[in-house]
């Protein structure tokens, strides 16, 4: 904690807070909330822990933003970045190539399921989704189906904040201020089994219903106009909706029937989050494209990518340029970090570690189900959502005022105070989201669960 006698340190903190209030535009943050309350300032990290400006320690239970797979302070990744910056700090992948991007593209292709052998680099997830939309549109023009431009995605699902990716995003509140958006973005139900409107006692039947809703949307829109379906392996927004059994097999069948592309948006789910390099592998389906970012470098440097199938690249190889590019995409330093990241994954058996420990993580979180406020615990791998309810028996949720008081009035602050960084979110029904670094084990799960129990027990009093 801050030493009250350290007046220089206190003065530095006041100056930093003041500068942050005046100059830093924080993303997706209600800036007025920061006008009086202290802005949490994270100053360093080591392993699964981070420290704030007062020297207080927190478990990084969201891996920053679903990103720090290997945790903080990994010398291997730092060294890889420094060595690459010394050798070749920057060169684009427009017209030229550099060996680090080539190596990484090859390494990614070797790990993607099936024939997703071509890698288009970006600097993050939104750009990867944006690129997938553009590949789909140009691909269909090149093969003589120019009417196909529409996209299908699920309600509440977040696919990014740039204008195309935002149109595909299924959460209305963040789209409305920027309308009109890209036309032709159609929404279908998500796979929230806890709140299944049909077949609430039969997960398989529910999955079939949810997949068939995609077919209905394709038919309503006219199949000859639909380009691609965007789905996360486990949908994040709304609080971790895993796919019901059979869901993706059915979706693949439907996409094939109508000539629609299946894009697996794995910006969160790839790179070990679900115990595999890609979530599609875990759930046994073959996408036409995979978008990735975040864990690709464990956050040590920004990078995203889109992997596409041999079939999709074919018309582009025949002489048509993909008219799209980004100055910093495939940045040599980021590519070197991603290669070092893969190296650590393999040397330390990170995927095996997640698979061996995920049941323990789930069991620990499941132990919270005895609390009256815990309605559901769901997820997979190291990726969980805890849905909070007003009434467990009826699954009644909170009204807007109650959710505001619960999440922003109490939970966000109390969780942070308790020494656990995670996210209290109400893009759908109120949930707490957890996605700790993949190096966590039973000891850290116990810490997370203990903090959650204290805060969730207290939460009841703040409604």
130 is a contact residue toward ligand PLP (CB under 6 A): no
For ligand PLP, the closer CB: 101 or 129: 129
Spatial strand order in the sheet of 150-154: 118-122, 304-308, 289-292, 261-265, 226-231, 150-154, 185-188
Q: Number of helices (H) and strands (E), helices first, in the chain?
A: 16, 15
- CB atoms under 10 Å from CB of 280, counted, come to 26
Please give the DSSP secondary-structure letter assigned to residue 148. -
User: Can you tell me which of 71, 125, 239, 279 binds ligand PLP, judged by CB under 6 A?
Assistant: 125
Residue from 53, 69, 84, 126 touching ligand PLP (CB under 6 A): that is 126
268 is an interface residue for ligand PLP by CB under 6 A:
yes
Among 70, 101, 129, 296, binds ligand PLP (CB under 6 A): 129
Binding pattern for the stretch 73-112 against ligand PLP, x by CB under 6 A and - elsewhere: ----------------------------------------
CB of 251 to ligand PLP, least distance (A): 16
Q: How far is the CB of 280 from ligand PLP (least distance, A)?
A: 13
d(CA 298, CA 341): 7
- Residue with the CB atom nearest ligand PLP in the bound state: 125
Stretch that binds ligand PLP, among 95-103, 156-164, 201-209, 439-447 (CB under 6 A): 156-164
338 vs 414, beta carbon nearer ligand PLP = 338
The smaller minimum CB distance to ligand PLP, of residues 144 and 177, is found at 177
User: Please, are residues 445 and 359 in contact by the beta-carbon 8 Å criterion?
Assistant: no
Q: Residues 293, 333, 351, 380: which binds ligand PLP (CB under 6 A)?
A: 293
Which of 70, 167, 251, 267 binds ligand PLP (CB under 6 A)? It is 267
Please report, for residues 141, 158, 359, 448, the alpha-carbon distance to residue 317 in angstroms, rounded to integers and kept in the order given: 15, 32, 45, 50
Beta-bridged to residue 152, according to DSSP, are 186, 229
What SS3 state is found at 321? coil
Part of the chain binding ligand PLP (CB under 6 A), chosen from 89-97, 176-184, 262-270, 361-369: 262-270
Apex 395 CA angle, 392 and 401, nearest 5:
100
What's the CA gap between 54 and 43, in Å, rounded?
9
Report the residue from 63, 68, 84, 236 that binds ligand PLP according to the rule CB under 6 A. Answer: 236
11 vs 6, 52, 364, 397, 421, CA distance in Å? 9, 16, 42, 44, 26
Q: Under rule CB under 6 A, how many of the chain's residues touch ligand PLP? A: 13
Among 52, 215, 265, 426, binds ligand PLP (CB under 6 A): 265
Q: Which residues contact 390 (CB under 8 A, 6 or more apart)?
A: 396, 397, 398, 402, 463
Q: Which of residues 385-404 bind ligand PLP (CB under 6 A)?
A: none
For tokens 């997640």, name the residue. Answer: 354
Strand-pair partners of 387: 376, 431
Tell me: does residue 336 bind ligand PLP (CB under 6 A): no
Residues that bind ligand PLP (CB under 6 A): 124-126, 129, 158-160, 232, 236, 265, 267-268, 293
């Amino acid at each position: 904690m801050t030493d009250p006698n350290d007046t220089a340190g206190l003065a530095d903190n006041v100056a930093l807070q003041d500068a942050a209030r005046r100059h830093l535009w924080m993303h997706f943050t209600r800036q007025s909330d920061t006008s009086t309350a202290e802005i949490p300032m994270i100053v360093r990290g080591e392993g699964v822990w981070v420290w704030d400006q007062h020297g207080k320690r927190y478990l990084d239970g969201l891996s920053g933003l679903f990103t720090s797979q290997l945790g903080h302070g990994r010398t291997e990744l730092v060294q890889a970045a420094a060595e690459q910056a010394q050798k070749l700090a920057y060169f684009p992948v427009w017209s030229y190539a550099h060996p680090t991007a080539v190596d990484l593209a090859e390494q990614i292709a070797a790990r993607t399921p099936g024939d997703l052998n071509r890698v288009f680099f970006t600097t993050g997830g939104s750009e990867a989704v944006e690129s997938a939309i553009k590949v789909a549109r140009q691909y269909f023009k090149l093969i003589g189906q120019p009417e196909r431009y529409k996209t299908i995605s699920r309600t509440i699902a977040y696919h990014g904040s740039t204008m195309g990716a935002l149109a595909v995003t299924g959460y209305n509140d963040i789209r409305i201020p920027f309308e009109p958006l890209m036309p032709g973005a159609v929404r279908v139900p998500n796979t929230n089994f806890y709140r299944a409107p049909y077949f609430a006692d039969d997960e398989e039947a529910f999955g079939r219903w949810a997949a068939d809703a995609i077919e209905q949307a394709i038919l309503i829109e006219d199949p000859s106009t639909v380009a691609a379906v965007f789905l996360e392996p486990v949908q994040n927004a709304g609080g971790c909706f895993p796919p019901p059994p059979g869901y993706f097999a059915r979706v693949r069948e439907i996409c094939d029937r109508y000539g629609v592309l299946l894009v697996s948006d794995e910006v969160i789910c790839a790179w070990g989050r679900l115990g595999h390099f890609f979530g599609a592998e875990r759930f046994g389906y073959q996408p036409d494209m995979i978008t990735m970012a975040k864990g690709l470098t464990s956050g040590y440097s920004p990078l995203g990518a889109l992997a596409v199938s041999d079939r999709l690249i074919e018309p582009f190889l025949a002489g048509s340029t993909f008219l799209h590019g980004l100055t910093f995409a495939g940045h040599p330093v980021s590519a070197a970090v991603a290669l070092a990241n893969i190296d650590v994954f393999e040397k330390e058996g990170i995927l095996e570690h997640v698979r061996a420990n995920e049941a323990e993580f789930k069991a620990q979180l499941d132990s919270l189900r005895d609390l009256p406020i815990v309605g559901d615990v769901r997820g997979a791998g190291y990726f969980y959502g805890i849905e909070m309810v007003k009434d467990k028996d009826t699954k009644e949720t909170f009204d807007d005022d109650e959710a505001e008081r619960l999440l922003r009035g109490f939970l966000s602050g109390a969780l942070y105070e308790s020494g656990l960084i995670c996210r209290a979110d109400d893009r759908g029904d109120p949930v707490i989201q957890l996605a700790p670094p993949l190096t966590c084990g039973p000891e850290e799960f116990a810490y997370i669960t203990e903090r959650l129990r204290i805060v969730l027990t207290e939460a009841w009093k703040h409604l």
